[in-house]
């Protein structure tokens, strides 16, 4: 016997794991699943569904939040738009509505970087960025132009903004009031999830504690005055775009939501008075079954937490209603037409996972702002999915699959472990100060990068099947510098026409509300009506709260 050809039994080395059997989140998938891999059948009777699976529309909502799901009502086909001036984006909104006739449609607004950071277009730090990656909004006049001729009391409007979300929302409410619309009739969603900005996207303004306080202000204002509005969309999307795994996205997003619930309860708001209007926003990436199971696990974790952790009695408080967007970070500039197929599969995963609204990315988003043709293809992708594939014919068609139920259980267990770890460190804000979220996401992102470089993760057109990379040419939408020039001129004219004394009084009122720890929303709405600008109201609160530049771990 060759002594080097064998090892003693007690030192045997396990065979290496085949990368092809490992999901993006690191789950090793066996050759096949069976009853022993699933914890969701009743003991002694594998033909009887366990309560953890349940029925559609029933606790714990694993199979969907409505009994009939898409048989009764299709998901909302929410299309994202925002570039250049308010007039440019308004024209794109009208184009989207025209092309979506006959389907359940909502508008979603993308803002440019200065607006996202709470800066006016004439701020020196805004130079070169005005209107580039979204629409520039400085004033209530801009808000009127953005939604001109659009019945915002009939069409739901989503606004993707976080740091200055309360100010943008105040401008929107003030605009509707000037159009003689009752705020109680307005329906839509304010993203307003500031915690994930500290984890991943970095578009924060104030320290975490003050930032959470402002989110609770909007929750309270919506509860009292805008019953059809989702005042915060708790967003895992950007956590995933920063490089997290699906399980990290699941755990961090739901724990962020719990942080807002706890802060609102501490404010004195009864959980069932605000929880029904909380909503969520998840990513749908390339790992098809993992994305489906993530949404099924998310509903179960949230329903359980709302009942057992917070004592919610209202069934609507237990529902995890979610928007899904296909994964922008998965799109490639190489062979961009391949992105159409990626988006289609990701969209189907979101629908099979049971989302309430869906945005499909445009094939050219990795190259620039979407063109009209690319946006139309993205919308048609959803329409083909809804009307041609048959996925709407029955609710949760993958339920009972040993693979799907087993992976749902595994993701739920691992996410709950992460949530408990965050609890043990004192909650999300403390985790931010410790650098826990950034460190965890960075480690996951690094692992994926290493796997891709090693060829263990195949990205078609990037590290495999690269022939013809120069052949696919697509039109790129260009934003000229003229947009910035005209926006600054418009802002200058606006400031010259307004009542400076009224502006000063309104900004003083915003500072007082912040200083006295009052809800700032009434003062911000009055400020918008008095023609204060976005940057002025953001700075008025910064005078009290300060600006956050990051902790020592950053």
- 465-496 confidence digits (pLDDT tens): 998 777 667 777 677 789 899 999 999 999 99
Among the ranges given (57-61, 152-156, 161-165, 289-293), the one the predictor scored with the smallest mean pLDDT: 152-156
Residue 433 lies in a domain: yes
Output the pLDDT for position 104.
Answer: 59
The CA distance from 61 to 53, in Å, is 8
**pLDDT confidence tier of residue 99, bands split at 50, 70 and 90:** confident
Which is higher by pLDDT, 213 or 107?
213
- Helix ranges (H only) for 397-481 are 402-424, 428-434, 436-453
Count the residues in the chain: 554
Asked if the model's pLDDT at residue 170 lies above 50, the reply is yes
Among the ranges given (37-41, 132-136, 200-204, 489-493), the one the predictor scored with the smallest mean pLDDT: 37-41
Asked if the model's pLDDT at residue 388 lies above 60, the reply is yes
Among the ranges given (69-78, 119-128, 191-200), the one the predictor scored with the smallest mean pLDDT: 69-78
Residue 52 lies in a domain: no
What is the rounded average pLDDT of the residues 409-419? 96
Output the pLDDT for position 35.
Answer: 80
Asked if the model's pLDDT at residue 169 lies above 90, the reply is yes
What is the rounded average pLDDT of the residues 392-408? 94
What is the rounded average pLDDT of the residues 1-15? 43
Q: What secondary structure letter does DSSP report for 31? A: S
Output the domain CATH number for residue 262: 3.20.20.240
Output the pLDDT for position 10.
Answer: 43
Rg, Å, the chain Cα set = 24
CA dihedral 446, 161, 347, 152 (to 10 degrees): 180
Residue 440 lies in a domain: yes
Asked if the model's pLDDT at residue 44 lies above 80, the reply is no
Encoded tokens for 480:
């000229």
What is the rounded average pLDDT of the residues 70-80? 86
286 contacts: CB under 8 Å, gap ≥ 6: 24, 327, 330, 342, 345, 346
Residue 31 lies in a domain: no
Residue 285 lies in a domain: yes
Asked if the model's pLDDT at residue 420 lies above 80, the reply is yes
Asked if the model's pLDDT at residue 389 lies above 50, the reply is yes
Output the pLDDT for position 513.
Answer: 98
Residue 177 lies in a domain: yes
pLDDT tens for 230-251 read 999 999 999 999 999 999 999 9
Q: Check: CB of residue 147 under 8 Å from CB of residue 159.
A: no
DSSP per-residue letters across 173-226: HHHHHHTT--GGG--EEE----HHIIIII----S-HHHHHHHHHHHHHHHHHH-
pLDDT tens for 358-384 read 999 999 988 887 888 998 999 999 999
Residue 469: CB atoms within 10 Å:
13
**pLDDT confidence tier of residue 43, bands split at 50, 70 and 90:** very low
Asked if the model's pLDDT at residue 60 lies above 80, the reply is yes
What is the rounded average pLDDT of the residues 159-169? 96
Pairing relationship of beta strands 279-284 and 41-42 according to DSSP bridges? unpaired
Output the pLDDT for position 225.
Answer: 97
Q: H or E segment at 326? A: strand 322-326
Which is higher by pLDDT, 21 or 305?
305
Average model confidence (pLDDT) for the chain? 90
Tally of domains in the chain: 1
Output the pLDDT for position 98.
Answer: 83
The CA distance from 240 to 250, in Å, is 9
Output the pLDDT for position 12.
Answer: 47
Output the pLDDT for position 271.
Answer: 98
Asked if the model's pLDDT at residue 87 lies above 80, the reply is yes
Phi (first) and psi of residue 110, to 5 degrees? -100, 130
What is the rounded average pLDDT of the residues 534-540? 98
Asked if the model's pLDDT at residue 6 lies above 80, the reply is no
Asked if the model's pLDDT at residue 533 lies above 50, the reply is yes
pLDDT tens for 184-196 read 999 999 999 999 9
Output the pLDDT for position 375.
Answer: 87
Output the pLDDT for position 1.
Answer: 37
Q: How far is CA 128 from the centre of its chain?
A: 26
**pLDDT confidence tier of residue 51, bands split at 50, 70 and 90:** low
Q: Print the domain residue range for 330.
A: 99-106+153-389+399-453
pLDDT tens for 258-296 read 999 999 999 999 999 999 999 999 999 999 999 999 999
Residue 196 lies in a domain: yes
Encoded tokens for 115:
């607006």
Residue 543 lies in a domain: no
pLDDT tens for 300-332 read 999 999 999 999 999 999 999 999 999 999 999
What is the rounded average pLDDT of the residues 213-226? 97
Output the pLDDT for position 93.
Answer: 87
What is the rounded average pLDDT of the residues 56-73? 95
């Amino acid at each position: 016997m060759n002594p080097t050809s064998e090892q003693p039994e007690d030192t045997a080395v396990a065979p290496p794991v085949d990368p092809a059997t490992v999901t993006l989140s690191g789950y090793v998938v066996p050759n096949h699943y069976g009853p022993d891999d699933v914890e969701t059948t009743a003991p002694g009777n594998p033909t009887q569904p366990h309560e953890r699976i349940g029925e559609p529309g029933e606790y714990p909502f694993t199979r969907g939040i409505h009994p009939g799901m898409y048989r009764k009502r299709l998901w909302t086909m929410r299309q994202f738009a925002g570039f250049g001036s308010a007039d440019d984006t308004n024209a794109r909104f009208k184009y989207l509505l025209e092309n979506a006739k006959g389907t359940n449609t909502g508008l979603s607004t993308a803002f440019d970087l200065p607006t996202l950071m709470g800066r006016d277009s004439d701020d020196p730090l805004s130079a070169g960025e005005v209107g580039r990656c979204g629409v520039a909004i400085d004033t209530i006049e801009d808000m009127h132009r953005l939604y001109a001729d659009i019945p915002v009391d009939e069409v739901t409007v989503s606004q993707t903004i976080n740091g200055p979300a309360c100010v943008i929302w105040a401008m929107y409410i003030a605009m509707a009031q000037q159009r003689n619309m009752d705020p109680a009739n307005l329906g839509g969603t304010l993203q307003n999830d500031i915690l994930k900005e500290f984890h991943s996207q970095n578009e924060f303004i104030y320290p975490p504690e003050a930032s959470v306080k402002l989110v609770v202000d909007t929750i309270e204002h919506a509860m009292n005055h805008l019953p059809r509005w989702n005042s915060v969309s708790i967003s895992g999307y950007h956590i995933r775009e920063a490089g997290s795994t699906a399980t990290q996205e699941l755990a961090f997003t739901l724990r962020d939501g719990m942080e807002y619930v706890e802060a609102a309860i501490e404010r004195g708001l009864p959980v069932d008075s605000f929880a029904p209007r909380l909503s969520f926003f998840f990513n749908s990436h390339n790992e098809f079954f993992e994305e489906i199971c993530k949404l099924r696990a998310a509903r179960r974790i949230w329903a359980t937490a709302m009942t057992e952790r917070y004592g919610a009695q209202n069934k609507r408080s237990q529902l995890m209603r979610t928007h899904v967007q296909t994964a922008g970070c998965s799109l490639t500039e190489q062979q961009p037409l391949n992105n159409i197929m990626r988006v289609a599969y990701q969209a189907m995963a979101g629908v099979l996972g049971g989302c309430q609204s869906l945005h499909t990315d445009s094939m050219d988003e990795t190259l620039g702002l979407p063109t009209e043709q690319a946006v139309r293809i993205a919308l048609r992708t959803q329409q083909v999915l809804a009307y041609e594939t048959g996925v709407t014919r029955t609710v949760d068609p993958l339920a009972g699959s040993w693979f799907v139920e087993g992976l749902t259980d595994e993701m739920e267990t691992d996410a709950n472990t992460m949530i408990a770890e965050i609890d043990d460190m004192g909650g999300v804000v403390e985790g931010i100060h410790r650098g826990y979220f950034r460190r965890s996401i960075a480690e996951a992102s690094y692992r994926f990068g290493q796997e891709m470089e090693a060829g263990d993760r195949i990205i078609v057109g990037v590290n495999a099947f690269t022939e013809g990379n120069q052949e696919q040419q697509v039109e790129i939408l260009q934003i000229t510098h003229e947009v910035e020039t005209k926006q600054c001129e418009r802002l200058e004219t606006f400031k010259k026409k307004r009542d400076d004394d009224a502006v000063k009084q309104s900004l003083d009122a915003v500072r007082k509300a912040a200083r006295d720890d009052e809800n700032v929303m009434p003062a911000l709405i009055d400020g918008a009506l008095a023609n204060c600008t976005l940057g002025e109201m953001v700075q008025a609160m910064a005078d009290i709260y300060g600006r956050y530049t990051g902790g020592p771990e950053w």
